[in-house]
Chains A and B, each alone.
Chain A
Amino acid sequence: MRSVIINEVRHGFYLDSVALMRYSKTIASMDGVEEAALMMASPSNRQIMSDAGLLNDVSVDAEGGDLIVGIRASNTEAAETARTEANLILDQPTTSGLGEAWRPKSIRAAVKINPEANLALISVAGDFAAAEARKFLRRGLHVMMFSDNVSITDELSLKKEARDLGLLVMGPDCGTAIINGTPLAFANVVPKGSIGVIGASGTGTQEITCLIAQGGGGISQTLGVGGRDLKDEIGGITTLMALDALDADPDTCHIVLISKPPAKTVADKVVARIGASKKTFTVCFIGATDWDLPTNATFASSLKLASENALGGKALFANFDVNTIAKPASAAKVCGLFSGGTLCAEIQTLFISAGLSVMSNAAIPGVDTLSENSTAHTIIDLGSDEYTQGRPHPMIDPSVRDGALETAMADTSVGIVLVDVVIGYGAYEDPAGHLVASLGTSLSGSTLVIASVTGTDGDPQGRLSQIAKLEAAGILVAPSNADAAELALACLKLAG
């Protein structure tokens, strides 16, 4: 049988001879190929190719600046396959040869060198966040928007655009997500499991995922939606998409939804979506005492109850008895100083359901706004705007709490100072150590300090070592934020 010769000429196509030799070798080693060469058509190269029996009429007019692909194969099919491969090699996008020192500055370049990336985390200043988010969406990436101060108009238009593209916009002001086991922004190291979490809040999501981990459960995915997603203006766009996603996810068996109580019209849509699913749900609308839900969903009024329900009704920290560590409070007032907004809200819920009067700068329904000369318990969210304008969040920089702590410890009407210690990725390297140092000698006074640590032992700071630091300093430590509320109530009770 006679050999088949195929020639192809690329005019004005230059490649270095070393590269071409490499390509020639690849093509020549293909099945059915007897000989192959890719060469610039200089007279000497043409001679070489001619001697090798690689030229036919097609390349007669090729000149020095042209590239000749010459293939000799045992049959037409093999020759054509080799030609296709040669063209693929010649047309392949050149890789960037990325050096370690180089980091792209533009989204375009970043996406280009990471063609498989499908999620972008945005934390630029709010004014610019929407524009950056659009660039990612148009390149087909989901967006997690850590940035806050994004207008609700921008949020709505971004979410609509994303929905049309089948992409998720988590945020703005989305502090927590765990995607395929990777913690993003403020998140904790939790085991993989079958519980999916959708959160409109950051620390609430952290507390629930950590409590689930402590109860022996695991997390499939944790999706953030942003604090305003369930408002009327946004209509729950991301929440509904997240519900669709986790409903379709074979690794997710149970779904926890956590948010402030949503707008009625939005709640109806969300509840209807939950009712349409075959999976089971835990719904925790912090601040609400009950909610009308379909039979596959259970309402939980606190983060701890939500976690227990997600664990199939397993009681968490059953061995923890507040009475064994409770001490009588020296004065009647509790001052709560929280870095986590939802942890602050959970305390308010538990206090008002215990019949106490509470005031807060981030008041939930039934709680008063802050006022002077009130005897109500004061529960402060130090992460809210009035404390963080131009300053880092207290979870990043715990010194934001120092001044308020000092004031509370010196206030003789305050018998208990109640705090949270949030650890995990994104959080300060040693918040417990900072808290102890900040309290200093005031710890030897009569004011009780009660704390809980939101986190896991897998976190960089380590939950147990943080607890040990607090306990060594005489701080009363509860195993969860809800238990801290119980402990405070017990201390008040002991004081009569």
Chain B
Amino acid sequence: MKLIEKANQKALSRMLSADPVLIDVIPASEAIPDLKSHMILHAGPPIAWENMCGPMQGAIAGIAKFEGWSNSLEDAFEKAAAGAFDFHPNHHFDAVGPMTGMTTISQPLMVVENRKFGNKAYCALNEGLGKVMRFGGNDDSVLERLSWLRDDFGPAFGKALRSGDGIPLKHLVARGLTMGDEMHQRNVACSGLILRELAPALARTSSDNEELAKILAFIGGNDQFFLNVGMAMGKAIMDPVRGIEGSSVVTAMCRNGTEFGIRVSGTGDQWFTAPVEMPEGLYFPGYTEADANPDMGDSTIVETIGLGGFAMGASPAVAGFVGAGAASDAGNFTRTMSEITTGENPEWTIPAMDYLGVPTGIDIRMVLDTGLAPTINTGIAHKEPGVGQVGAGVVRAPMKCFEQALIAFAESVGVK
């Protein structure tokens, strides 16, 4: 027991001492040398083509066409079914991706370096709202935007970042929390703060005013721009926490649209999976629960570091948006999550909760002891590929993941 506490304190201190900095945007092939042609990284735990949900398959068809591995979506579907592509989780390559989470060689990836531990993590650029690949969108407009991100936006963004010492994220997130972001469903403040940090460097490194204006407008017009930055930050914070012997702290939570998967520090890189649940939430006009795809994406990495549903108290507006109840109840989500976490983050605090630090370091023992599954704030994708986001809501991590993890964890510490 004492050893577990000690190991968990070690895990917590690694999380709290992390120093994530957004330093660059580079092609995936450079960021991840092991990423080869015809390899497709996806969100969530490992999954085979035939088990993928509609949006995931749609995104794969789209990204295969985008990479030039198929002439058409139909062809891509056939090739995928015939085993022409290698599928792997982003998490196996230091990366994360929202919703479908497509990562392939030519995509630009943001690089977040954890300067305390020297590790790096990667995430693709956020495409904006509406019809986008992360929700399974794959038509020409989606692919054209991806091309622009690859050819223009990404290189310009990277150049601007390289002209300085990068953007430290910890302090930026702390400010975002005080401005009403919880970094999963609400990123408007942090997106603005990033834009403010970045604009001078972009201006300095750009020679084309029109292109510069387009880039600034793209960031400025995308309230969720920071989500992908926050996710890479989350991955960069959590990776040094992996593999601490005797620690029952969760190091990753993610979903592939079919299964939810978690990893626990003390059990290394083993996945514990269970079928994903349906989010409960609010739908955009014209859509209902019947249109919704089950829970999906690597974005739950932000809950893993104490943000998103864990920081709901910072973001009363989100509580209403995701259908979690009255804005005044937002703090209760955070308080409840503090019942399953190892500690609080003294630097990420919530003013409206008397500067309570966000609950940090999910302990699988406490999850099972209290019966309280982590609360996740999430976007809801349409179940048909290509339609996009149809709502937002709250979903619980399936208890079964934690049950399996606890059994394996118990064995890892010598309890049979």
Contact = CB atoms under 8 A, between A and B. Distances in A.
A318 to B, nearest CB: 57
Interface in B392-408: none
Given A14-B174, A97-B331, A102 B356 contact: no
Interface stretch (B40-48, B82-90, B256-264, B365-373): B365-373
B347 A19 contact: no
B370 A106 contact: yes
Given A102-B332, A108-B366, 13 more contacts: A16-B178, A16-B355, A64-B171, A94-B349, A94-B353, A97-B353, A98-B335, A99-B331, A104-B335, A105-B371, A106-B366, A108-B339, A109-B338
Interface residues of A, number: 22
A12 B171 contact: yes
Interface string B82-113: 00000000000000000000000000000000
A12 B332 contact: no
Interface string A160-193: 0000000000000000000000000000000000
Given A14-B171, A15-B355, A105 B336 contact: yes
B379 interface: no
A88 interface: no
Interface string A226-265: 0000000000000000000000000000000000000000
Nearest to A112: B338
Interface in A277-316: none
A94 B347 CA distance: 11
A441 interface: no
B171 A109 contact: no
Contact of A65 (B168, B346, B357): B168
Interface in B349-381: 349, 351-357, 366, 369-372
30 contacts: A12-B170, A12-B171, A13-B346, A13-B347, A16-B178, A16-B355, A18-B351, A19-B351, A19-B355, A65-B168, A65-B170, A65-B171, A94-B354, A94-B355, A96-B354, A97-B352, A97-B353, A97-B354, A99-B331, A99-B332, A101-B329, A102-B332, A105-B370, A105-B372, A106-B366, A106-B369, A106-B372, A108-B366, A109-B338, A109-B339
Contacts, number: 73
What range describes how many residues of B lie at the interface? 20 to 34
Interface string A16-51: 101100000000000000000000000000000000
B347 A97 contact: no
B328 interface: yes
Contacts of B355: 15-16, 19, 94
B344 interface: yes
Interface in B299-351: 328-329, 331-332, 335-336, 338-340, 344, 346-347, 349, 351
Interface of A: 12-16, 18-19, 64-65, 94-99, 101-102, 104-106, 108-109
B19 interface: yes
B175 interface: yes
B329 A106 contact: no
Interface string B144-175: 00000000000000000000000010110011
Contacts of B351: 16, 18-19
Contacts of B170: 12, 14, 65
Contacts of A96: 335, 353-354, 356
State the 5 A-B residue pairs at the shortest beta-carbon distance, nearest first.
A65-B171, A14-B174, A97-B354, A97-B353, A106-B339
